[in-house]
Structure 1
Amino acid sequence: MEAASGGGRDTDLETVHLLRQVTVELVLAQAEFARRHGMHGTDVRALICLLDAERAGTPATPGLLGAELGLNSAGTTAVIDRLERLGHVERVRDRADRRRVRLRVSAAAVALGESFFGPLIGGTVELLRGMDDTEAAAVRRFLSGVGELARRPAP
């Protein structure tokens, strides 16, 4: 990796450290949200997975959720049961196959998330709107690339 320098500073590593700082802050925000609402960090990750599946038009099943979270069947059931007790997730029978259960994030859970994360999301959107199309595309390309790297198995 060839580092760009500005006044002797390695700006490539500076970017990596900024990304790490943002990651830590986001994890802390997620932990605070979980704490305030009587959830585990895994519960919040589960809600995010379910919302992402809905956005992608993918049927959200316990099997999908377990695979996304890296949990076995018992662990997945425990997460779903906790979220259902809290009123954040609903089990819905599949119309085509009544034996299959779909998972849906409740409207109340969505509103709760929006009330906590809304300012962060809104501020992020405003930052992006302050960029031209080329800059915003570069940010998306960078974050997508880092996401791909993070999903690779550790050596």
Structure 2
Amino acid sequence: MGDDTGSARQSIALLLRRLTVELDAVGQRFAGIHGLGRTDVRALVTIMDAARRGQALTAGALGQAVELSSASVTALLDRLERVGHVRRVRSSDDRRRVVLEMSDTAMAAGAEFFGGLNRDLVAAMDAYSAEELAVVRRFLEDMTEVITRHARAGD
């Protein structure tokens, strides 16, 4: 690896860190406005992402995703349910199973807050070709995998 390539990689790593810090600040602002904690926001995003994939999410799966014990997940869900952001519902596939759903008000709050950011992000991508976007997607997936592995290194 030449010096230029190593320098470029280091520069990109630093930009990723900066992006992460800025995205975290946006999430924290949303959390503050809605009286939520960081873990609350992580949980809501996890539930929303599962719904977008068409997957039912149980409390146990949520606990694994946000790295909380069963008792902590119960407290988290009780809190989110109490403020009207989450519902626990019986699975249509297996009535013995309880799955999590975001409320319409939580979805609306997220859309209102993050909608402009999402529109601006998508608009910023207009300058990229389909091939470039494919590389960016692969890059972000790879970087997310590395970051996730480091975040869970103590497991």
Fold shared per TM-score above 0.5: yes
Find out whether 1:59 has 2:40 as its counterpart: no
Matched, 1:4 2:4: yes
The one-letter code of the counterpart of 1:65 is L
CA distance in 2, matches of 1:144, 1:2: 25
Mapped pair 1:120 → 2:117: yes
Q: Structure 2 counterpart of 1:4, which letter?
A: D
Q: How does 1:39-54 map to 2 (within 5 A)?
A: 39-54=36-51
C-alpha deviation, 1:146, in angstroms: 0.2
> Which 5+ residue runs of structure 1 have no aligned equivalent?
none
Q: 1:77 aligns with which of 74, 78, 100?
A: 74
Matched with 1:104 is 101
How far did 1:52 drift?
1.0
1:93 to 90, 93, 105: 90
Alignment gaps of 5+ in structure 2:
none
Q: Summarize deviations over 1:35-61 as a string: whole Å, max 9, x none.
A: 110111100000110011111121111
Task: State how 1:8-23 maps to structure 2 within 5 Å.
Answer: 10-23=7-20
Number of the residue aligned with 2:27: 30
2:133 paired with 1:136:
yes
> Secondary structure at the residue paired with 1:4?
helix
Distance 1:13 1:109, change over 3 A: same
Structure 2 vs 1, CA of residues 47 and 2 (structure 1 numbering), >3 Å: closer, same or farther? farther
Residue 149, structure 1, aligned to residue 146, structure 2:
yes
TM-score by length of 1: 0.90
Percent identical: 44
Alpha-carbon offset, residue 3 of structure 1: 4.1
Structure 1 contact 3–12 (Cα < 8 Å) conserved: no
Give TM-score scaled by structure 2 length.
0.90
Q: Please, what is the CA RMSD of the aligned residues? A: 1.7
Report the Cα offset of residue 98 of structure 1: 2.9
Q: After superposing the two structures, state which structure 1 stretch, 9-18 or 134-143, moved more.
A: 9-18
**Cα distance, 1:91 vs structure 2:** 1.1
